[in-house]
Amino acid sequence: MSNRANNKFQIRIWQWGLLVAIFVFWWAMTKPGLVPTFFFTTDSQAAFFFGEPLEIFGRIKEWFVGGEIYSHLAVTLYETVMAFVIGTVAGLAVGLWLALSPMAAAICDPFIKGLNSMPRVILAPIFAVWFGLGPASKIALGFTLVFFIVFFNVYQGVREVNPTVLNSARMLGASSQQLLRHVYLPSAMSWVFSSLHTSVGMAFVAAVIGEYLGSAEGVGYLILQAESTFDMNTVMAGILVLTFFALVIDRLVTEAEKRLMRWQPLAGR
C-alpha cells in the first residue's frame, strides 16, 4: 500500500472513530447514572433536550422501512437541487458577464451590493405569497442564497486571471470565445467549486426554512410537526437525515471537481 493510500486509510479510521466517539458520548449523557449531569438536574432532562441516539436511529429506520420518509425527502431534495442548479448557473453566467463588462459592473455594483446585504431569509414569506406554498417558493429562496455565493466567486476569479497568460493568449491571436474557454473559465473554476461546497448547505437551509414557514410536505415539515409536540427524537432524526444527504450532494460536487479540475495537480488529491 502506498503512503498516499495509507494516509487516506488512516484518516478514514480517525474520522469513523471520532464519529463513533461522538455518538457514544451522546448516548452516555442521556443514560441515567452513566455520566454526571453538569447542566441538567436529571438525566431525563438531557434526553428531553438532545434526544436519545438509539431512539433516533430507530425512528430513522422506521421512516425508511415503512416508507414514510420517501415522499417528504423527495420534496426537500427536489427543492434543494433545483435551487442549487439554477442559482449556480445564474451566478456563473452573471458573474462572467459583469467581470468581462466593466461598464455594466460599475452600473450594477450598488444594486448587487444592496441585494446581497439584504437578510434574504425575510424574503421567504414574500415568496410564499408570490409563488404559493409549493416547491417554487422554496426554490426561489434557495436561489437567492446560492446565486450570490457563486456570483461573487466567479466575478473575483475572472478578474484575478493572470495578466501574463491573458496577454500571451491575445498575442497568439486568441478570439474572445477562445479566451473565455481557455483563460477566463479555467481561472474561475477553482473559485466556482469552492463556492459550491458552501452553496449545498445554503440550498438545504432555504428548503427547510421555506417548509417551516408554510408547507404540508418535506423533511422540514416533519421536523416542525415534531417540534410542536416536543418530540426531540424525531427532530434530531430529521436533522441527521438532512445532514447525510447534504454530505452526499457535497460528495458529488467533489467528484465533479476532481474530473473537471484534473489539470490542477492538487484537485485530485
Q: Average pLDDT of 107-120?
A: 84
pLDDT band of 131, cuts 50, 70, 90: confident
Q: Dihedral, CA atoms, 169, 98, 138, 246, nearest 10 degrees?
A: 30
What pLDDT score does 112 carry?
Answer: 86
Q: Quote the pTM value.
A: 0.76
Three-class SS of residue 10?
Answer: helix
Q: In this structure, are residues 208 and 141 in contact, taking their beta carbons and an 8 Å threshold? A: no
- Most trustworthy range by pLDDT among 76-90, 148-162, 229-243: 76-90
Residue 269 to residue 258: CA distance in whole angstroms: 8
pLDDT average, residue stretch 71-76: 89
Give 260 or 73, the one with higher predicted confidence.
Answer: 73
Rounded to an integer, the average pLDDT of 169-193 is 70
Residue 92 has pLDDT above 60, yes or no: yes
How many other C-beta atoms can be found within 10 angstroms of the C-beta atom of residue 257? 20
Q: Which residues 6+ apart lie within 8 Å of 69 measured at CB? A: 60, 63, 219, 222, 241
Query: When comparing pLDDT for 38 and 19, which is higher?
Result: 19
pLDDT at residue 191 tops 50: yes
| Of 119, 130, 145, residue with least CA distance to 214 | 130
pLDDT of residue 86: 94
The three three-digit cell numbers of residue 20, written as one number: 463513533
Rounded Cα–Cα distance for residues 138 and 213 (Å): 10
* Percentage of the chain lying above the pLDDT 70 cut: 79
Split at pLDDT 50, 70, 90, the class of 66 is confident
Question: How far is the C-alpha of 126 from the C-alpha of 210, rounded, in Å?
Answer: 11
For the chain, which residues make up each domain, given as ranges?
1-50, 52-260
CB 72 within 8 A of CB 60: no
Amino acid sitting at position 169: A
The pLDDT score that the predictor gives to residue 85 is: 92
Query: Which residues fall within 8 angstroms of residue 245, CB to CB, at 6 or more apart?
Result: 73, 77, 204
Burial of 185 (0-12, 13-18, 19+ CB in 10 A): middle
The pLDDT of 204-212, averaged and rounded, is: 85
23 pLDDT band, cuts 50/70/90, is: confident
In Å, how far are 11, 16, 19, 251 from 6, measured between CA atoms? Answer: 9, 15, 20, 21
Q: pLDDT averaged over the chain? A: 79
Residue 208 grid coordinates: 427547510
State the average pLDDT over residues 165-187. Answer: 69
Q: Which amino acid is at 3?
A: N
**What integer is the mean pLDDT of 64-71?**
85
Average pLDDT for 212-237:
83
Decide if pLDDT at 268 tops 50. no
* Residue 210, burial from CB neighbour count under 10 angstroms (0-12, 13-18, 19+): buried
Domain 52-260 has CATH 1.10.3720.10: yes
Is residue 43's pLDDT more than 60? no
pLDDT band at residue 261 under the 50/70/90 scheme: low
